[in-house]
Structure 1
Amino acid sequence: MAETQDGRRRHRKPHAIFIPYPLQGHVIPSVHLAVKLASHGFTVTFVNTHYIHHKISTATGSGADVFSKLRESSPGGESLDIRYATVSDGLPLGFDRSLNHDQFMASLLHVFSAHVEELVAGIVASGGEDEEVSCLIADTFFVWPAKVAKKFGLVCVSFWTEPALVYTLYHHVHLLRQNGHFGCQDRREDAIEYIPGVASIEPKDTTSYLQEANETSVCHQIIFTAFQDARGADFVVANTVQELEAETISALQAQMSYYAIGPIFPPAGFTNKSAVRTSLWSESDCSHWLDTRKPGSVLYVSFGSYAHVEKPDLVEIARGLALSGVSFVWVLRDDIVSSDDPNPLPVGFREEVSDRSMIVGWCSQKEVLAHRAIGGFLTHCGWNSILEAAWCGVPLLCFPLYTDQFTNRKLVVDDWKVGINLIDCKAARKEDVARNIGRLMGGDLGDELRKRVKEVKKTLASALESNGSSARNFGQFVEELKNKIQTTGERRSE
């Protein structure tokens, strides 16, 4: 609160610092949430790491602020107040974060917070008379948000980019320990039936980190520390939908201020170019090739922006694609196996499938999924990919690789029944791959999956309508956040 010349108090515009986790799958929904907050009267200072900014700038051929075009094209000529800053993640730009994953995570665990504190201190100190930095929004996987927010007197918002089911598993890891499903030598293998809001879940459907015997890795340290810190957040906002995870979300809401506000998508939709470019790689245009294909005839294949595939599995998947006879678009990153193995496909594969395939390094996934030619999606089960596929009415062929993807697969295959498993064993075999591609892309099962995914699409769309659950939750969150900011500001000024 600021005072006018006659002593009356007037409201300052709320100003939030927003810091996404520096991975592609976290940056994308964070950008769209920042835009949404700005359109609801917030000043937002959005903070990318130097590395993420460098990757986006290289991919787009522009070193400009990633929001600059959006400001120019704001509806009604009203400029959204989104500012942009960058911060070091503690590593040099040339460091290969994909190849050296553990060192990258260690820097985020031990070093990054010092750079963040310095940045936040500078932004807070630069606040003008009509505005005051009042809120810190940061990814739940950071280990420092509540502590940093408390140090600077800011309201803390934890942004969760995965399903509520994954959140509640991490939030209740102490129950998993107490009941012998995690953190012990002879861990139980029966179903987990004591997590609030989760009727039952098999250990194999928990996240990869909760299935591992070694709990001393840097990623385990990040998860445990982050979820301790998250208990100090004032609000948790999540990129999920109330109706899709009703019991789990209700149980979390009984414990904390938890708001399901997803799916968090660009306001322009999937078929229009977003004014904010978030891709870390240069995008190939697949539309002309897809235009030549029959509706629903093409399988889209992508294992996301960060996960790695074991080379034997990748080779069998490639051979299965060849055996299936199905047309496909395959996004194949240079580091999909390793930065040290940029060409992992079987010899002769590209030539064998050249008449019915398009293999690219990266593309606009949302635009490809929205194309009429796409009839299925072979996916690693990243949460963004699942929401985008459901929004486009595309059924899923699931090949989870690590972290939340095993739990996401459970939701897709077992709960919502909008997809099937690529394989039902540890290692991929080309015969299984080809058979399940055929099941997904044609026949009665494929038709049934498409029917069901359209129902999930309706649920997502309904949630975003003016009286839908996500729209209501977002409105309530904004109102309560502004009230909390006002109360916190008044306490500071007393």
Structure 2
Amino acid sequence: MLIVSKSQQDPYITHTTQGVYANQTGMADQITKNPHAIFIPLPLQGHLIPSVHLAVKLASKGFTITFINTESVHHSITNSSSSSNLFEEACKSGLDIRYATVSDGLPVEFDRSLNHDQFMECLFHVFSAHVDKLVGSLVKDDPSIGCLIADSFCVWPLMISKKYKLVNISFWTEPALVLNLYHHLDLLKKNGHYDPLDKFDDAIDYIPGVGSGSIKPTDLMSYLQATNTNTILHRIIHKALFQNTKSADIIICNTIQELEPYTISTLNQTQPFYAIGPIFPNDFTKELVSTSLWCELDCTRWLDNKPPGSVLYVSFGSYAHTSKHVLEEIACGLLQSEVSFVWVLRPDLVSSTDTNALPVGFEDQVKDQGLIVPWCNQKAVISHQSVGGFLTHCGWNSILESIWCGVPMICLPLLTDQFTNRKLVVDDWKIGINLCEKNLVDREEVTKKVKELMMQEKSNELRTEVKKVKRTLQDALATGGSSHRNLDHFVSQVILKTNQVK
């Protein structure tokens, strides 16, 4: 276990100990006055990014944060960034963020992408024991710790927060609509829309708080559309989302009040729920803390040589997988479109044992048209003036970043919340289009939709709408905006509840 803390002699000493946490000397009075939270993200890239940014934001509000990564995530980040203390720059700016690592139950070298279900089983059965031991040690050494902030997909926060008398704060990294649907699994089951899914065409119009009044079965999260509901992921969903989060003292969410007003109002009727998104660093493209699990290639020079708004950015995120056939159809469609593109092609997008996913000779064919990279700094690319569209898997981080940069989207959801996110983007906010209406990726359809997004009249309509939604995000984060106010209310509630518990 790695522990990083401040020290009078050297403020950035790294201590490797067995459960010993060194407090900052001379900080006792300050720690007593300010909330001290243990923050534990889900060990996946898409969950880590907003968690790190939220930790920095809370520290800037006066929190003392002890941030805990898994040893595997820490290993990946340090390999890609060459930094052993992720929060070193943040601490230099005066923030009180301590850093620790914990085992997820598997060796660091274990291929979690290839052995996904085994990894999830460990998070379900084993991870909690390691977290329990570490949290117990931290609380024993520092009684000022008063609350636990954990990703909503973790299955153990209720048990551990009760054991150590900590305020239980659940951090939901996806849209409020997705959490609301998970919270109503009983209604979906009762009406034949889950376990099993018998009604494929009927609109789901009985869930409280769905903004447009109804949702199609095909817009449910992929796990709710599955025919086999006895998987490890379904067990995690039932324990973490249908049971655990409902018992949290507070839920904070990376969404915006004005974009999901009905859903948020419904969730607020049962427990405190604060929409505090979008959770971005103060400088959108310059981050104090490295969060990438892979080395990032710089695309700036290539993009600098392209006209404004002419480049399509293509990325399917850090987690979901797809087939060679889908990638081949997308590749051929991009080639036929003649639109310039940057394509992030993650090495394990098909499988970590099959990294040759593109058609033979494709890279030579598009060497003047496209740039293909294994990973990049998405914020730097999507905010570049030459980027005019985003072909996306509809991960929530990607959607928020695309909106922030005023970039409309082509949507190809692959997994989990991405199908519901697509509904928000295409149907509710009208800032994107579907890649393939019939769910079969076809190269001709890819070519058609890429041209539609980048060149045709539809492009102007989407750009007008995305500018409106971008303004909503900016206003929410501005002083006095909804997210700014909600964050302040959340901080006040944490201070109040922490004093009550202690």
Q: Where do residues 366-381 of structure 1 align in structure 2 (5 Å cutoff)?
A: 366-381=379-394
1:222-259 CA-to-partner distances (Å, cap 9, x unmatched) read 00000201122100000000000111111111111000
1:305-340 CA-to-partner distances (Å, cap 9, x unmatched) read 111111111110001011110000000111011111
Q: Where do residues 53-452 of structure 1 align in structure 2 (5 Å cutoff)?
A: 53-62=74-83, 64-72=84-92, 74=93, 79-127=94-142, 132-184=144-196, 186-187=198-199, 189-198=201-210, 199-227=213-241, 228-270=243-285, 273-452=286-465
> Which letter maps to 1:452?
E
Q: CA deviation at 1:186?
A: 3.4
Distance in 1, matches of 2:423 and 2:200, equals: 19
> Which letter maps to 2:399?
I
TM-score, normalised on structure 1? 0.94
> Which letter maps to 1:285?
D
1:99-144 CA-to-partner distances (Å, cap 9, x unmatched) read 11111111001110000000100110111xxx61100000000011
Aligned-pair identity (%): 58
Q: CA deviation at 1:185?
A: 6.6
1:27-50 CA-to-partner distances (Å, cap 9, x unmatched) read 000001001111111110000000
Match of 2:298, SS state, is coil
Match of 1:328, SS state, is strand
TM-score, normalised on structure 2? 0.92
- 2:69 alignment counterpart: 48
Distance in 1, matches of 2:197 and 2:42, equals: 33
Q: CA deviation at 1:426?
A: 2.7
Q: CA deviation at 1:11?
A: 4.8
Distance in 2, matches of 1:465 and 1:222, equals: 36
- Contact in 1 for aligned 2:149/2:169 (Cα 8 Å): yes
- 1:486 alignment counterpart: 499
- Contact in 2 for aligned 1:381/1:399 (Cα 8 Å): yes
Q: CA deviation at 1:146?
A: 1.3
Match of 1:354, SS state, is coil
1:141-191 CA-to-partner distances (Å, cap 9, x unmatched) read 001101110010000000000000100000111111112211137346301
State the superposition RMSD in angstroms.
1.1
- Contact in 2 for aligned 1:377/1:394 (Cα 8 Å): yes
> Which letter maps to 1:449?
L
Q: CA deviation at 1:295?
A: 0.1
Distance in 2, matches of 1:12 and 1:125, equals: 19
Distance in 1, matches of 2:36 and 2:366, equals: 53
CA 1:289/1:140 → structure 2, altered by over 3 Å: closer, same or farther? same
Which structure 1 residue ranges, 4+ long, deviate > 6 Å from structure 2? none
Distance in 2, matches of 1:329 and 1:378, equals: 10
1:254-281 CA-to-partner distances (Å, cap 9, x unmatched) read 11100000000011222xx312110000
CA 1:69/1:173 → structure 2, altered by over 3 Å: closer, same or farther? same
Q: CA deviation at 1:357?
A: 1.0
- Contact in 2 for aligned 1:44/1:82 (Cα 8 Å): yes
Distance in 2, matches of 1:445 and 1:484, equals: 50
Counting matched residue pairs gives: 469
> Which letter maps to 2:207?
I
Q: CA deviation at 1:61?
A: 2.2
- Contact in 1 for aligned 2:32/2:144 (Cα 8 Å): no
1:350-396 CA-to-partner distances (Å, cap 9, x unmatched) read 00000011111111101111100000000000000000000000000
Contiguous gaps of at least 5 residues in structure 1: 1-9, 490-494
> Which letter maps to 2:110?
F
CA 1:11/1:45 → structure 2, altered by over 3 Å: closer, same or farther? closer
- Contact in 2 for aligned 1:180/1:188 (Cα 8 Å): no
Contiguous gaps of at least 5 residues in structure 2: 1-30
Distance in 2, matches of 1:89 and 1:413, equals: 37
CA 1:188/1:298 → structure 2, altered by over 3 Å: closer, same or farther? closer
